[in-house]
Every structure is written in C-alpha cells, then in structure tokens.
Structure 1
C-alpha cells in the first residue's frame, strides 16, 4: 500500500500525494515522480505507478494545489497558476524526493501540463531522465484541425468566463475534469504561442530552469490526441535546449487498437504495449526493441 505524502511548498501551501517505496532499497534504485495533467488527480495514475514500483522503482504520485488530495476546504480566497504548480508545487515534491532519497537517481513522468511543469522547477537540473506523454501548453492553433474550434470555444472562451465569474472552474460538475483554480484556467486560456506570454509568467518571463534541464527527454505523442499534436509537442520541447530530446509518435493502429487519445496511455490495458516504452526509457535511456510507432524528431 502507498504511504501518504505531505510536503509544503515554499509559500506554505500543503501538497499531498502518495509514495510507493521499497522497505530495503538498493542504493541505485530510481525514484520516479509522476506529474499529472492539468486538473487530473494523481489517483488516475495509480495502476501505472504500481507497475513501475513492481518493476524496480520507488514512485511518488501527487496533486497540484487545488486538485485531488491537495484541494482546499473552500475556494474562497484560493487561487493558483500554472507557474505555482511547477515552480512551487513540483519543486517542493522534487526537493523532498532529493532529500529523502539521497544519492538515488530521480526520474519524472509528465502527462500533458505535467511535462511543462518540470521546466519551471528550480531543482529540475537534478532530474536524470524524463518521459512525457502528450505534453504541451495548450496553444489553440496546435490543436488537431478537426477539433480545433470546439476545443477553442470550450477551453479558451467558456473556461475563462467561468473562472472570472465564479472564482474557479466547477469542471467536475460539468463532467470535464477536476475543479480548477481560476489562475490555472486563465493561464490555459491565453491564446499566444509562447509559454512566457501566459498570464502568470508575463511579469517575470521564462525562467532559466528550462535550459538548465539536462535530462534525456522522451516525448511520446499519440496520433489521435487532439491536444498532443506534432506541433504542440515540438513547441514545448523547444524550451528544453539542454536536453537530448526524442519526439516519438504512436498511432492506435501501431498497437492494434482503435483509439488512445490524450488520457488512455495510463490505462492498465496498455500495460504490455505502451508502458514498456516509458519503463525502458526511464531505466536505460533508450527505446525498447520493437517499440511501436516512429520517430518524429530527435535532437
């Protein structure tokens, strides 16, 4: 059973999650941190985390402030931004892991915004390897053409309006995702192609932490993911200038299924087809023999 995690961000906000740790680990046993997608709670990734743990890694799953285990008792007076989620919350979890598991390699799996959050953390240069899945920062022109306008209306018009009117987005009630802090919704909704133009980064600009990341990055894109298109993943990868970057594309037909989309990579039905791609990269920094799909770009 995973143990509860409680750390405090630099501004005092409690961040909660779970730790799967071996009782008597080898000194080189890796620790993998799983960063969630925007407003997806960490429990969504528990089967994936269980699999990594069973195959030789300790695993930390956790929730950003405002989400899941880290949700406030009341939305009154509470807010958070994408920058807070990366520079404060992920930084707190990463710093805790580095201190709690000294000398052990630290890897990160980032889903959607979770891949972007890595580059916002001051201690991200301590990460050894990274796997991202559908990781991007929601520039609307990068959405898949067939879905672009409906998605733009939902995420770039309806969502910020709800946030402005209610102080947060009651997304769970609408069947979208977890309820979402106002500042996160407004960061997401900005329709500019550069991350540093998002609302919470305008005053400070892009932090140097992205370029400081030296971890080998495997960015996995699914061809039927309307968020994680080739241009969207390339746009985020362009910020990790200090890393060896591999952008790998997988189509549903490559593994004999009809659909994968933005979320299903972490479903247990893909334990034997998709999960080995992430596991092998985290363990060895390479793609396993017979990896389904194709390389889109490697730098």
Structure 2
C-alpha cells in the first residue's frame, strides 16, 4: 500500500487529491477499539464506516465528514488520536466511494444524496453517543453538507479547509484547468466509462457520475449550492451551533475568498475564523488535506483538541 508524503503536482496545478485515497494507517493502539460500522441510509442503501472507541468512558463524540473524493481511510490516524484522547469517533464513506463496480452502481448518486448519507452517519453517532456532546468535524465538502444534517443536535462544529467551491475562487494557476475539468473532461469521461475516473486522470479522485456532474454544475454556477437548493441561505441561517473555521494559507485548491464566502453563509452563529500558515503548526506544508496527516499529530493536540465539545 502506498503512503504518500505529498500529493504530486499535476499539470502544474495540484488538482489531484486522489493519492489520499491510498493512505490507510492501521489503528493499532491498546487504548482504543476499532470496529466496523454498518448503517442504512433513508432509502435503504447500506453505508459503511469505522468506529474508534476509547478504552474508558468517552468524554465526547466526533463525526469526521470526509472531503470530496477522499475515502474514510485517510482519516484513520486522526480518528485513532481522537479515541486515544477520549472521544468516540466515527468515520464513514459516502455511497459509491470504493471499487469501480461501486462507483458505476452509484452513477445516479448526487451531492444531495451524500448530504443524506452524512445525515444518517451523524444520526448513527448520536444514537451511540447517548447524550454525549457531539462535534461535527467537516473537511471541505464534509462541512458543505452541514445544511442537510441534524446540526441542531450538534454541540460544536469545526470545518477544515472549507470554502465555496466555485471555480472563480480557485487559485489562479488552476482556474482554467478546473473550468476545463468541469466543462469538458467530466462530461466526456463519465459518459465513456460510467463514472468519473479522476484517479487515473490525476484530476481529483474517482467519483460517481451523478456526484461529479452536480459538483461541476455547482462549481460553474455563480451561486454554487443555490443552483439546485433555492433555500440554501435559510438552511445555513438555521445553523446556530458554535463554529470554528480553520484554513491554511498554503491551500493549493481554494484561495482565501472562497473560505470567506463560505463563512459568510453562517448568519445564525458567530464564526471563529482561524487563518493559519504552516509555520504556525511547525510544518513546512499543510495544504488542503494535510492537517489530517499523522505527522501533524502535535498540531492536533494544540489546535484541534481545544475545539472539541466535552
């Protein structure tokens, strides 16, 4: 199994996040138990995830909602740390995120379907948490799905590297390639192979056809979510839980205006904004995905631990 130190720069633009899908760190710790999680979505679809259970009574619970084209295995080291710190943690995969057969079978899956998957995963955690304070930790797309989950039952929200995904907010060097990916590459490849083969193309990771097409529609639209969700502003306004937004200045995908645009949607709660440089964490690079890499464990203790509900 490959473990990458960094994602490769491809076409001089770092559109490829798919290498993160190959990163799986075994959770081997006498302080925790690791258990498979299986639960049904509202439409009866079987969803899967992983429980990370502390040895002693948990002090809180955390759901880790994954980024676009990023499998739950990428968060294994981070979820292991959460359990070692006393938190019941759940990671999960959106439907279709798996084998080629699963990707093709999930061709009609949309981002809104994934919102339902996120909602059911959170409900599954709430059922097991039995009154514990719950933190919703969303990475990129994982936090964009907040309007579609039971955020009223969440004690704290932490969103990491989360911005409005419009291509207009991409870093200058990837604006044109991103536009071409959404406008040309995605429509052609999904029609030809039955899913979006982003891993092979080294332009994001593999995605079900429907999810990729809806993501493209959002990213090409001026109002992003609103092109399919007319009441999106009211949905965001209904979110009242304390919220912290963490963004790194070397994010290779989204520029700072993307984060600000996302944060501005949360009109029902105060947003604690953390704009951090890699040096603030004692690192040379963090980027869009890097906070969850095991080498940044010291930063988890200093940055993330104080943000979790206990």
Q: Deviations over 1:33-81 (max 9, x none)?
A: 0011011000001101111111111100000011139x86461463211
Of stretches 181-190 and 36-45 in structure 1, the one that deviates more from structure 2 is 181-190
Measured in 1, the distance between the counterparts of 2:107 and 2:293 equals 32
> Mind listing any 5+ residue stretches in structure 2 that lack a counterpart?
1-32
CA RMSD of superposed structures (Å): 2.3
Distance of aligned partners of 1:100 and 1:77 in 2 relative to their CA distance in 1, 3 Å threshold? closer
Measured in 2, the distance between the counterparts of 1:278 and 1:44 equals 17
1:271 pairs, out of 272, 292, 297, with 297
TM-score (norm 1): 0.84
Measured in 2, the distance between the counterparts of 1:74 and 1:35 equals 19
1:159 pairs, out of 150, 175, 186, with 186
Alignment of 1:1-299 (within 5 A): 1-22=33-54, 24-26=56-58, 29-68=59-98, 73=102, 75-76=104-105, 78-86=107-115, 88-121=116-149, 123-190=150-217, 191-198=220-227, 201-202=228-229, 205-206=231-232, 208-273=234-299, 276-283=302-309
Measured in 1, the distance between the counterparts of 2:212 and 2:193 equals 12
- What is the number of residues matched between the two proteins? 276
**Could you tell me whether the CA contact under 8 Å between 1:138 and 1:227 is conserved in 2?**
no
Of stretches 43-52 and 208-217 in structure 1, the one that deviates more from structure 2 is 208-217
**Could you tell me whether the CA contact under 8 Å between 2:103 and 2:195 is conserved in 1?**
no
Q: Deviations over 1:207-260 (max 9, x none)?
A: 744222222111111111133322111222222222221221112233444322
**Could you tell me whether the CA contact under 8 Å between 2:78 and 2:294 is conserved in 1?**
yes
Measured in 1, the distance between the counterparts of 2:164 and 2:39 equals 26
Distance of aligned partners of 1:47 and 1:272 in 2 relative to their CA distance in 1, 3 Å threshold? same
1:289 paired residue number: none
Measured in 2, the distance between the counterparts of 1:78 and 1:150 equals 24
**Could you tell me whether the CA contact under 8 Å between 1:171 and 1:179 is conserved in 2?**
yes
**Could you tell me whether the CA contact under 8 Å between 2:96 and 2:103 is conserved in 1?**
no
Q: Deviations over 1:97-116 (max 9, x none)?
A: 22222211111111110110
- Distance apart, 1:156 and its partner CA: 4.4
**Could you tell me whether the CA contact under 8 Å between 1:112 and 1:132 is conserved in 2?**
yes
Measured in 2, the distance between the counterparts of 1:252 and 1:175 equals 25
- Distance apart, 1:278 and its partner CA: 1.7
Distance of aligned partners of 1:262 and 1:157 in 2 relative to their CA distance in 1, 3 Å threshold? farther
Instruction: Name the SS of the counterpart of 1:220 in structure 2.
Output: strand
TM-score (norm 2): 0.81
Measured in 1, the distance between the counterparts of 2:130 and 2:266 equals 25
**Could you tell me whether the CA contact under 8 Å between 2:40 and 2:46 is conserved in 1?**
yes
Distance of aligned partners of 1:252 and 1:157 in 2 relative to their CA distance in 1, 3 Å threshold? farther
> Mind listing any 5+ residue stretches in structure 1 that lack a counterpart?
285-299
Distance of aligned partners of 1:236 and 1:275 in 2 relative to their CA distance in 1, 3 Å threshold? farther
**Could you tell me whether the CA contact under 8 Å between 1:125 and 1:209 is conserved in 2?**
no
Instruction: Name the SS of the counterpart of 1:272 in structure 2.
Output: helix
